[in-house]
Amino acid sequence: MTMRIGLLGTGRWAQVTWAPALAAHEGVEFAGVWGRRPEAARELAEAHGVRVYASPEELIADCDAVACALPPDVQAEHALAAARGGRHLLLDKPLATDPKLAREVADAAEAAGVASAVFFTLRFSEPGAGWLREQAGRGGWFVARAEWIAALYPLGGEPSTGVESPWRREKGALWDVGPHALSVLETVLGEARLLAAVRGQHDLVHLTLGHAGGATSTATLGLTAPPGVDSVGALFLGEHGAAELPGRGESAADALGRTIDTLLAAAAGETDPGAGLLPCDVRYAQHVTELLAEAERALDAAPR
């Protein structure tokens, strides 16, 4: 039996990742799309031979599950409505930038008994996903560092194609790439608490984290750097020596396909393909939102 999923959002991320993944998945009936720009919705729908919905409410009512490719707090509002309507949730990270809204979504999903999966990319993208499972199973790690620095807004240059977004400009690297770093660090070391947060130049942020079991880690996050300066990775040190996160080997759409697998398994009451790891569901996404919001408050309170 297939799951009927509708897509909210028609931006570049929806075009190159979300719609292709939904259309390609054998367990999904791609129902259609809704977008705030009707012309973009029509174009995306025509590309995949699906219908355009006149409103989010119409899409939610007609589907088994709702997928969101929208700014975080817009996503959370629609996800809340979908969960209250008994629809499963396929969401992006961060779930929201408002901790209260993130908690409302997680509580609504739990109350309705609906399944959820949140697209923390590196938890589903191979070979990194398999590597994370292996390191989590080995244990014995005592310290790690993650670095997510990208020249999306290169100093003295134009933004990279397709990345311009009001919410990304406003919230910066902490919220845009912070979820990537946290999902990698917490998968291996366990749930984190914030120990310190420090600003660097431009939108550069440094976080120090303490993890369940006593390990510590740091995360360095930035979107504004000199052209060509990109550094993405993670290094773990422990009783087995050093282990470094491998590079990306497949498309984001392929990784999203595995996220859909997780949603389908959860909805059917089957074993999560990522069982034994921190679950990539709305409750975990709520935790990430709360941790990032705490870091933001600490950064705003710190002397400059």
Crossing angle of helices 178-189/282-301, nearest 10°? 120
Q: Which parts of the chain have pLDDT scores under 50?
A: none
How many domains is the chain built from? Answer: 2
Q: Are 167 and 223 in contact (CB under 8 A)?
A: no
- Do 186 and 263 belong to one domain? no
Per-residue pLDDT, 270: 83
Does some domain include residue 215?
yes
Does some domain include residue 163?
yes
Does some domain include residue 299?
no
Per-position b or e across 125-161, b if 16+ CB within 10 A of its CB: beebbebbbebbeeeebeebbbbbbbbbbbeeeebee
Closest CA to 284 of 166, 88, 109: 109
Residue 76, token pair as written in the block: 């959370």
Per-residue pLDDT, 272: 63
* Residue that the structure tokens 């990698």 belong to: 184
List alpha helices for 113-222, DSSP H.
121-124, 128-138, 166-176, 178-189
Q: How far is CA 44 from CA 4, 5, 105, 214, 277, in A?
A: 17, 15, 27, 48, 35
CATH number of the structural domain spanning residue 22: 3.40.50.720
Does some domain include residue 50?
yes
Does some domain include residue 132?
yes
- Do 137 and 164 belong to one domain? yes
Which residue among 223, 247, 271 closes a domain? 247
Residues 6 or more apart whose Cβ sits within 8 Å of residue 147: 181, 219, 220, 231, 232, 233, 234
- Do 217 and 233 belong to one domain? yes
Residue type, 50: V
Report how far residue 221's alpha carbon sits from residue 179's, in angstroms, rounded to the nearest whole number. 10
- Do 228 and 150 belong to one domain? yes
Per-residue pLDDT, 165: 74
Closest CA to 243 of 148, 134, 150: 134
- Do 14 and 113 belong to one domain? yes
Which residue among 247, 265, 290 closes a domain? 247
Report how far residue 302's alpha carbon sits from residue 300's, in angstroms, rounded to the nearest whole number. 6
Neighbours of 167 (CB within 10 A): 16
- Do 95 and 16 belong to one domain? yes
Closest CA to 299 of 173, 116, 112: 173
- Do 258 and 117 belong to one domain? yes
- Do 8 and 118 belong to one domain? yes
Report how far residue 260's alpha carbon sits from residue 38's, in angstroms, rounded to the nearest whole number. 26
Q: Are 222 and 204 in contact (CB under 8 A)?
A: yes
- Do 27 and 175 belong to one domain? no
Does some domain include residue 289?
no
Report how far residue 189's alpha carbon sits from residue 143's, in angstroms, rounded to the nearest whole number. 9
- Do 118 and 136 belong to one domain? no
CATH number of the structural domain spanning residue 148: 3.30.360.10
Report how far residue 90's alpha carbon sits from residue 242's, in angstroms, rounded to the nearest whole number. 34
| Tens digits of residue pLDDT in 201-219 | 888 999 999 999 899 999 9
Q: How would you classify the pairing of strands 216-222 and 141-149?
A: parallel
Residue 36, token pair as written in the block: 């705030």
Does some domain include residue 178?
yes
Crossing angle of helices 282-301/166-176, nearest 10°? 100
Domain that holds residue 41: 3-122+252-281
CA atoms within 13 A on the CB side of 289: 26
Report how far residue 285's alpha carbon sits from residue 257's, in angstroms, rounded to the nearest whole number. 19
For residue 275, which phi and psi values (nearest 5 degrees)?
Answer: -55, 140
- Do 107 and 168 belong to one domain? no
Residue 99, token pair as written in the block: 């901790």
Q: Are 150 and 222 in contact (CB under 8 A)?
A: yes
- Do 232 and 141 belong to one domain? yes
Does some domain include residue 158?
yes
